[in-house]
Amino acid sequence: MNVSSKRELIGNEAVVILDTIRRLNRRNAVDHLLKMVNKTHPADLAIIFRHLNTDERRNIFNIIAQTDIVGYFLSEIDQAIMLELVEDLTPQYMVSIIKEMDKDDAADLFEALPENVANEIRKGMEKSDREEVDELLKYDPNTAGGLMSPDFMAHDEEMTVGDAIKKVQEYSEEKEMAFYLYITHGPDSRLSGVLSLRELLMHPPYRQLKNIMNPKVVAVTTEMDKGEVAHIVSKYNFLAVPVIDQNYKLVGIVTVDDIIDVIREEASEEFLQMAGVGKDQEILLKPVFNNALIRAPWLFATWVGGIVNILIITSFQVELQKVLALAAFIPIIAGMGGNIATQSSTIVVRGLATGRINMNALGSLLFKEMRVGLILGSFYGLLLGVLAFLGYAEPSKLGLVVGLSIFFSMTLAATVGTFVPLVLRRLEIDAAIATGPFVTTAIDILGVTAYFMIAKIFLTL
Amino acid sequence: MNVSSKRELIGNEAVVILDTIRRLNRRNAVDHLLKMVNKTHPADLAIIFRHLNTDERRNIFNIIAQTDIVGYFLSEIDQAIMLELVEDLTPQYMVSIIKEMDKDDAADLFEALPENVANEIRKGMEKSDREEVDELLKYDPNTAGGLMSPDFMAHDEEMTVGDAIKKVQEYSEEKEMAFYLYITHGPDSRLSGVLSLRELLMHPPYRQLKNIMNPKVVAVTTEMDKGEVAHIVSKYNFLAVPVIDQNYKLVGIVTVDDIIDVIREEASEEFLQMAGVGKDQEILLKPVFNNALIRAPWLFATWVGGIVNILIITSFQVELQKVLALAAFIPIIAGMGGNIATQSSTIVVRGLATGRINMNALGSLLFKEMRVGLILGSFYGLLLGVLAFLGYAEPSKLGLVVGLSIFFSMTLAATVGTFVPLVLRRLEIDAAIATGPFVTTAIDILGVTAYFMIAKIFLTL
């Protein structure tokens, strides 16, 4: 791989840093490495780590561990690499790192660690820190509660603008999304409104927040699925959304940077799902055997479908014996059907994900895709039929048979490929699996069966 | 579709609004509709419009057109629907809508409109508005320049904190991302730093911005590809990034909500690309014939591959004649190869997109996927071999042949499926096309060829 293609992947600057770090490490230039690490953004270091080998990672991490960015760095890195790195650290040291991390990142780290290691670390933590992290760990990581940060700016609605500004100025530690003030009501901190920092500046200091706040604040509950939270944040162009518990108490906020991660992760999972590889985004970082194990069950669908096809074709053995040329057309008939089915399924699965499907007109969607199948099936069927007619003198009707079969299998495939994801969604099953091996295999079987039946009819076998 | 599945797709509240709007429209209750529209967020209205039929859309849009959210609404809606709606509007009316829109949204709308309509509207616009929109239209919509908004808060570095706060308070119109002040230097407004609104509040009023600003501001150039901008914003968790021209003049900002749109769009395009449907996200909204036209060329790859397979199988006609059972195994051998190739390609394409591939260890990645192919090929080959051995008395070596063929085709497929996207990326071609029909078709051909050659050897045909 030359530098120009590397640049495209990890950014020009990162390539330079990567090369420098590797060189310094070879020369064992610890002081220079420390300087380099301190100058580099933790997010860039996390990316660079993907391009180092295990020894390099260990060496450089020993240096990062001496800096105060180690917590940030660990929250940015891929989970598989993180687990590899922290293996060597003592629980005491981990306690000191976690103390410096954002609470939500610390909770994510705990979530990833083996339970015995996590418990060892918990013992060493201060009670208040432990409680805060434990509070977050109560929530399913796939919900708003699992995603939220408890460090946000909240003010009681009785407070005046002047006092609120003073409080903002006095926050010693970093707050997330320090542009919105969330306004609460009463001793149990119920969410009652929101105010931007700029709006705060527009009002005289004596005015009370409750008189100037925006009371129409959109909030999510701790149990809401993270995909739904992402949908709300991106639909309304929010920078953050407050999270409330079942008593309307404000317990955290979810910020847009976490939402971007959710969107990226969900897209990645959907891609892998569609290709029949499960959902594990870090499959590349897994050992060979685990990788094979994750993929094996998805191949089983194709295998079973293949067995069914063997039985079907075997049952037409007499016909095949008479017209041997039929065998040669099996791959093109299965292939064209599988291909157009994948197209239709993908369009529908995407349409469901982006909301572009008119749920009040599913019948017309199905009819439309069927017509697309008809058009494309006619075109490619005619093309193949003519070719077969010209290429095979005997039997004279072979062109008709294969042309009709392509036409029939493509029309059917487009319709089934549209229908299956809609049904799966209706059954509340993840529609993305429709684009994987299941539908293609089903189409293979339908296509091959139709083909031999058409042959039987027209070749009067 | 019952309400519960609709809810999942467009949100519970939106379903209620949708049903109400349709009912009010049937009753022709214009006043109630107007009230409803005014109460509903434009982003929700845009989603609801996907679920209305053409007549309903026209009626409801006539009502939206009477409100001041019409500009916001048009910027949120799918392009295909937008074009349908504005068809009926006079250029004069369009001018009045565009006047109220954010400049970057207005430019996007111009980009989508037919050229003669756009020119008609431009004539009616005030000079200053027209110039601002024209300025934005200069940039390729796929670059930072095409994405940016020119409405941001900028202050000269010589300004004091007190004056800066006063200026923030005095902005009459809405500024984008009014939480960051971008600091400029000199009469040609070169970007020199950044300051958050909160930081501004922490300093005494007489201090100059240049003494308190953060001079290490990350900026992008107007020509930078929007994907790269998205990468930077999401990597560093920015809420916005300033855009400079070739003279370092600050010309706009790109905000995180636009970045989310870019990420979603690129994921959608990659999905469609992978399925061999081109890149048009709005394919669902296209008429049948256009839909078929977009998809036809991608099917051609499979068609050509199918023809090659016909020739190959025909060339083994003598062997097939002797052992007819060989035909029945064609689909399973092609299918298993195609399936594992798709898995490998998807994993690699995703790994390239998320940066999880170690670009310094491509050889070991290839070797690893080959071993995964070996493991899975051995397993499924053995499974099929044993089954064929038990099922087919004659020829006795058929089990060996099909088992070996599955083993061989799966190992090859995993390796080729890994190799192709890496090569495409190297050649600076979009790697996602590797997961489409091309690789599967190539694998089909390789698998079938290997199968018949193995058969020829072992069955001594």
Q: Give the bridge partners for A182, in sequence order.
A: A154, A194
Contacting residues for B16 by C-beta, under 8 A, at least 6 apart:
none
pLDDT at B8 over 50: no
Tell if the pTM clears 0.80, that is, is over it. Answer: yes
Evaluate the CA torsion angle A427, A430, A431, A434 in order and state its sign. Answer: negative
Query: Contact at 8 Å (CB) between A405 and A447?
Result: yes
Rounded Cα distance, B60 and B211, in Å: 54
- The one-letter amino acid at B404: L
Question: Do A245 and A231 contact (CB within 8 A), yes or no?
Answer: no
Helix, strand or coil, per DSSP, at residue B395? coil
Residue B347 touches chain A, beta carbons under 8 Å:
yes
Asked if pLDDT for residue B400 goes beyond 70, the answer is yes
A-chain residues within 8 Å CB-CB of B321? 324
Instruction: Report d(CA B46, CA B57) in Å as an integer.
Output: 10
Question: Closest to A236 (Cβ–Cβ): which among B41, B326, B357?
Answer: B41
Evaluate whether A90 touches A82 at the Cβ level (below 8 Å): no
The strand order across the sheet containing A190-196 reads A154-156, A180-185, A190-196
Q: Which residues pair with B255 in a beta bridge?
A: B240
Q: What is the pLDDT of residue A146?
A: 92
Closest partner CB to A336 (pick from B179, B302, B372) = B302
Instruction: Test A347 with B6 for CB contact under 8 angstroms.
Output: no
Mean pLDDT of B100-113: 84
Alpha-carbon distance values, A182 to A77, A250, A420, B418 (Å): 31, 9, 45, 50
Q: Output the pLDDT for position B148.
A: 93
Closest Cβ–Cβ partner in A281, A361, A444 for B335: A444
Joined together, the tokens standing for residue A175 give 């707050």
What is residue A157's predicted lDDT score, i.e. its pLDDT?
94
pLDDT of residue B1: 30
Q: Is B428 part of the contact surface with chain A (CB cutoff 8 Å)? A: yes
Q: Which of A41, A329, A356 sits opposite B285 (nearest CB)?
A: A356
pLDDT at B460 over 90: no
CB-count burial class (<10 Å; 0-12, 13-18, 19+) for B204 = exposed
Residue-wise DSSP of A177-205: TTTEEEEEETTTTEEEEEEEHHHHHTS-T
Residues 382-411 in B contacting A (C-alpha not used; CB under 8 Å): 383-384, 387
| Contact by Cβ (8 Å): B268, A297 | no
* pLDDT-derived band at A461, boundaries 50, 70, 90: low
> At A325, phi and psi to the nearest 5?
-60, -20
pLDDT at A43 over 60: yes
| CA–CA min distance A120, chain B (Å) | 30
Give the mean pLDDT of A16-20.
88
User: In whole angstroms, how far apart are CA B285 and each of A56, A369, A412?
Assistant: 51, 12, 22
pLDDT of residue A213: 94
Kindly report the length of chain A. 461
C-alpha atoms less than 13 angstroms from C-alpha of B16 in its C-beta half-sphere: 5
Give the span between the Cα atoms of B449 and B461, in whole angstroms.
15
What residues of chain A, 271 to 310, have a C-beta less than 8 Å from chain B? 271-272, 274-277, 281-285, 288-289, 291-292, 295-296, 298-299, 302-303, 305-307, 309-310
Is the pLDDT confidence value at B5 over 70? no
What span, in angstroms and rounded, lies between the C-alpha atoms of B351 and B358?
A: 9
Decide if A127 contacts A95 (C-beta within 8 A).
no
For residue A240, give the nearest of A181, A165, A324 by alpha carbon: A181
Compare B434 and A426 and report the one with higher pLDDT.
A426
> Is residue B174 within 8 Å of B151, Cβ to Cβ?
yes
pLDDT over threshold 90, residue A403: yes
Longest dimension (CA), chain B: 97
Tokens read off for B270: 């990659």
Q: Does A157 touch chain B (CB under 8 A)?
A: no
Q: Which residues, 6+ apart, have CB-to-CB distance to A67 below 8 Å? A: A34, A37, A38
What is the per-residue pLDDT for B355? 78
Percentage of chain B lying above the pLDDT 70 cut: 95
Kindly report the average pLDDT of chain A as a whole number. 87
| Per-residue pLDDT, B4 | 34
Q: Rounded CA gap, B399 and B407, in Å?
A: 12
CA distances from A358 to A361, B10, B34 (A): 5, 10, 23
Residue B51 binned pLDDT confidence (cut-offs 50, 70, 90): confident
pLDDT at residue B17 greater than cutoff 90: no
177-196 in chain A: CB under 8 A from chain B = 178-179, 196
What pLDDT, on the 0 to 100 scale, is given for residue A12? 63
pLDDT tens per residue across span B73-84: 988 888 888 888
Residue B280 DSSP label: -
Q: Return the sign of the alpha-carbon dihedral for residues A49, A52, A54, A57.
A: negative
Helix (H, G, I), strand (E, B) or coil at B254: strand
Whether A172 contacts chain B with CB within 8 A: no
**B262 burial class (0-12, 13-18, 19+ CB within 10 angstroms)?**
buried
Q: Does the structure show a pLDDT above 70 at A9?
A: no
- B200 → chain A, closest CA residue: A169
DSSP letters spanning A378-406: HHHHHHHHHHHHHH--SSTTHHHHHHHHH
CA dist B44 and B52 (Å) reads 13
The pair phi, psi for residue A244, each rounded to 5°, is: -120, 155
Q: Residue A209: which pLDDT band, with cuts at 50, 70 and 90?
A: very high
Q: How many degrees, rounded to 5, is the angle at CA A76 between CA A71 and CA A82?
A: 75
Q: Which of A378-387, A392-401, B429-438 has the lowest mean pLDDT?
A: B429-438
| Mean pLDDT along residues A244-263 | 93
Domain coordinates of chain B in residue numbers? 3-141, 154-256, 287-458
- Measured CA to CA, the distance from residue A368 to residue A362 in angstroms comes to 10
> pLDDT band for position A378 (50/70/90)?
very high
Tell me the CA distances in angstroms from B21 to B37, B69, B455, one per residue in order: 9, 17, 66
Give residue for tokens 């089954």: B387
Using one digit for the tens of pLDDT, what is the confidence trace for B406-455? 999 999 999 999 999 998 888 888 777 767 778 888 899 999 999 999 99
Contact by Cβ (8 Å): B380, A303 = yes
Q: How far is B73 from chain A (nearest CA, A)?
A: 12
Instruction: Go through chain B and tell me how many residues it has.
Output: 461
DSSP reduced 3-state for A149: strand
DSSP A142: T
Q: Which residue has the higher pLDDT, B159 or A431?
A: B159
Tell me what pLDDT residue A173 has: 61
Give the pLDDT confidence score for residue A1 in this predicted structure: 30
Adjacent-strand bridge partners of A184: A156, A191
E strand or H helix at B251: strand B250-255
Give, in words, the CATH class of A287-458.
mainly alpha
Cα separation, A306 vs A334, whole angstroms? 11
CA distance B197 to A179: 8
pLDDT band at A7 (very low <50, low <70, confident <90, very high): very low
For residue A322, pLDDT over 50 is answered with yes
Tens digits of per-residue pLDDT, A154-182? 899 999 999 998 888 887 666 776 788 99
The answer to whether B376 contacts A237, with C-beta atoms less than 8 Å apart, is: no
DSSP label at residue A281: G
Beta strands B190-196 and A154-156, pairing class: unpaired
Backbone angles phi, psi at A277, to 5 degrees: -130, 15
Cβ neighbours of residue B251 closer than 8 Å, sequence gap 6 or more: B145, B148, B150, B222, B243, B244, B245
- Under an 8 A CB cutoff, do B324 and A329 touch? no
Q: Stretch A299-314: mean pLDDT, rounded?
A: 92
CA distance A348 to B78: 16
- Of B457 and B177, which is predicted with more confidence? B457
CA angle (A121, A122, A123) in 5-degree steps: 90
Query: Distance from first CA to last CA of chain A, Å, rounded?
Result: 57
Phi, psi of A251 (to 5 degrees): -115, -15
CATH class of B3-141: mainly alpha
- Of the spans A416-425, B174-183, B389-398, which averages the highest pLDDT? A416-425
Q: Is B437 on the interface with A (CB under 8 A)?
A: yes
- Cβ of B341: how many Cβ atoms within 10 Å? 31
Q: Give the contacts of B389 (CB within 8 A, at least 6 positions apart).
A: B396, B398, B399, B400
Phi, psi (degrees; rounded to nearest 5) at B307: -65, -45
**Cα B14–chain centre separation:** 25
Q: Among candidates A100, A25, A92, which has minimal Cα distance to A63?
A: A25
**Cβ separation A360–B53 shorter than 8 A:** yes
Fold classification of A3-139 is: MgtE N-terminal fold (1.25.60)
How far does B190 lie from chain A, in Å, by closest CA? 22
Is residue B302 within 8 Å of residue A339, measured between CB atoms?
A: yes
Dump pLDDT digits (tens) for B317-345: 888 988 889 999 999 999 999 999 989 99
Mean pLDDT of A89-102: 85
The alpha carbon of A460 is separated from its chain's Cα centroid by a whole number of angstroms, namely: 52
**What's the pLDDT tens digit per position in B261-301?**
999 888 888 888 888 887 777 788 788 998 899 899 889 98
Phi and psi at residue B89, to the nearest 5° = -85, 150
pLDDT in tens, A182-196: 999 999 999 999 998
Report the first-to-last Cα separation within chain B, whole angstroms: 57
- Spell out the residues 6+ positions from residue B217 whose beta carbon is closer than 8 angstroms to its own: B182, B191, B192, B193, B194, B242
Query: How do strand B180-185 and strand B154-156 relate by DSSP bridges?
Result: parallel
Instruction: Please determine, for residue B243, whether its predicted confidence score (pLDDT) is greater than 90.
Output: yes
> What is A154-264's CATH topology?
CBS-domain (3.10.580)
Architecture label for domain B154-256 = Roll (3.10)
